[in-house]
Structure 1
Amino acid sequence: MSHAAISTPEPDGPPGTPDQPDPHRWWALAVIALAQLMVVLDATIVNIALPSAQHDLHLTNGNRQWVVTAYTLAFGGLLLLGGRVADLVGRKRTFIFGLVGFAVASALGGASVNGAMLFGARALQGAFAAVLAPSALSLLTTTFSGGRDRAKAFGIYGAIAGAGAAIGLLLGGILTEYLDWRWCLYVNVLIAVLAVTGAVTQLSDRQGQQESHLDILGALLGCGGLVAIVYGVSQAETDGWSAPLVITLLIVGVVLLVTFGWWQKHAAHPMLPLHIIEDRNRSGSIITMALATLAMFGMFLFLTYYMQTVLDYSPMKTGFAYLPMSAMLIIASTQIAARLLHFIPPRLLMAPGMLIGAGGLYALTFIGTRSDYPTHILPGTLLLGFGIGLVFMPVMATATAGVAPQDSGVTSATVNTAQQVGGSIGTSLLNTIATTTTATYLASHLASAHSKQQQAQITNTGVVHGFTVATGWAAIFMVAGAVVAFTMVTGRAPKAREAEAEAASG
Structure 2
Amino acid sequence: MNRIARPWPALWALVIGFFMILVDTTIVSIANPSIMADLHTDLTSVIWVTSAYLLGYAVPLLITGRLGDRFGPKRVYLAGLVVFTLASLWCGLSGEISMLIAARAVQGVGAALMTPQTMAVIARIFPPNQRGAAMGLWGSVAGVATLVGPILGGLLVDSLGWQWVFFVNVPVGVVAFVAAWRLVPDLETHAHRFDWLGVVLSAIGMFLVVFGIQEGETYDWGTIVGPITVWGLIVTGLVVLAGFVVWQAFNRAEPLLPLGLFRDRNFALSNVAISLVGLAMTAMPLPLAYYFQVARGLTPTQAALMFVPMAVVSGLLSPLVGRFSDRIDAKWVALAGLSLSALALAGYAALLHPDVAYWALLLPSAVLGLGISGVFAPLASTATRNLPPARAGAGSGVYTMTRQVGSVLGSAAIAALMSFTLAVQLPGVDAEAARPGAGAALPAEVAEGFSTAMGQSLWLAVAGFAVCAVVVACFAKARVTVAWGAPGPDAPAADARSTSAAEA
TM, length-normalised to structure 1: 0.85
| C-alpha displacement of 1:332 | 3.0
Counterpart of 1:111 (choices 93, 110, 126) is: 93
Counterpart of 2:183 (choices 188, 193, 202) is: 202
| Paired residues for 1:12-411 under 5 Å | 12=1, 14-15=2-3, 22-53=4-35, 63-147=45-129, 149-210=130-191, 212-236=192-216, 238-239=218-219, 245-267=229-251, 268-335=253-320, 337-367=321-351, 368-375=353-360, 377-411=361-395
Q: Distance in 2 between matches of 1:385 and 1:440?
A: 31
- Structure 1 residues 421-430 or 194-203, which shifts more? 421-430
| C-alpha displacement of 1:253 | 2.4
Q: How many residues align?
A: 469
Change (3 A) 1:123 1:341: same
Q: Distance in 2 between matches of 1:50 and 1:433?
A: 16
Aligned residue number for residue 19 of structure 1: none
Query: In 1, are the aligned partners of 2:215 and 2:416 still within 8 Å (CA)?
Result: no
Q: Distance in 1 between matches of 2:42 and 2:247?
A: 42
Counterpart of 1:481 (choices 463, 468, 475) is: 468
Query: In 1, are the aligned partners of 2:274 and 2:402 still within 8 Å (CA)?
Result: yes
Gaps of 5+ in 1: 1-11, 16-21, 446-454, 502-506
| C-alpha displacement of 1:396 | 1.0
Query: In 1, are the aligned partners of 2:65 and 2:393 still within 8 Å (CA)?
Result: yes
Query: In 2, are the aligned partners of 1:35 and 1:136 still within 8 Å (CA)?
Result: no
Query: In 2, are the aligned partners of 1:76 and 1:417 still within 8 Å (CA)?
Result: yes
| C-alpha displacement of 1:87 | 2.1
Aligned residue number for residue 405 of structure 2: 421
Aligned residue number for residue 466 of structure 1: 453
| C-alpha displacement of 1:130 | 1.1
Query: In 2, are the aligned partners of 1:76 and 1:227 still within 8 Å (CA)?
Result: no
Change (3 A) 1:389 1:233: farther
Query: In 2, are the aligned partners of 1:80 and 1:223 still within 8 Å (CA)?
Result: no
Q: Distance in 2 between matches of 1:101 and 1:403?
A: 29
Q: Distance in 1 between matches of 2:220 and 2:145?
A: 29
Q: Distance in 2 between matches of 1:238 and 1:24?
A: 54
Can you list the C-alpha shifts for 1:74-104, whole angstroms capped at 9, x where unaligned? Answer: 1122222222222222211100100111111
Query: In 2, are the aligned partners of 1:24 and 1:203 still within 8 Å (CA)?
Result: no
- Secondary structure of 2:245's counterpart equals helix
Q: Distance in 2 between matches of 1:433 and 1:289?
A: 22
Change (3 A) 1:351 1:403: same
| C-alpha displacement of 1:398 | 1.1
Q: Distance in 1 between matches of 2:372 and 2:280?
A: 10
Change (3 A) 1:220 1:405: farther
Aligned residue number for residue 4 of structure 1: none
Can you list the C-alpha shifts for 1:271-303, whole angstroms capped at 9, x where unaligned? Answer: 121111232211111111122232232221111
Change (3 A) 1:208 1:256: farther
Can you list the C-alpha shifts for 1:129-165, whole angstroms capped at 9, x where unaligned? Answer: 1111112222222222321x32122112112212213
Amino acid at match of 2:468: G
Change (3 A) 1:473 1:180: closer
TM, length-normalised to structure 2: 0.85
Counterpart of 2:424 (choices 434, 437, 440) is: 440
Change (3 A) 1:229 1:371: same
Q: Distance in 1 between matches of 2:325 and 2:116?
A: 23
The alignment yields a C-alpha RMSD, in angstroms, of: 2.8
Q: Distance in 2 between matches of 1:407 and 1:230?
A: 30
Aligned residue number for residue 8 of structure 1: none
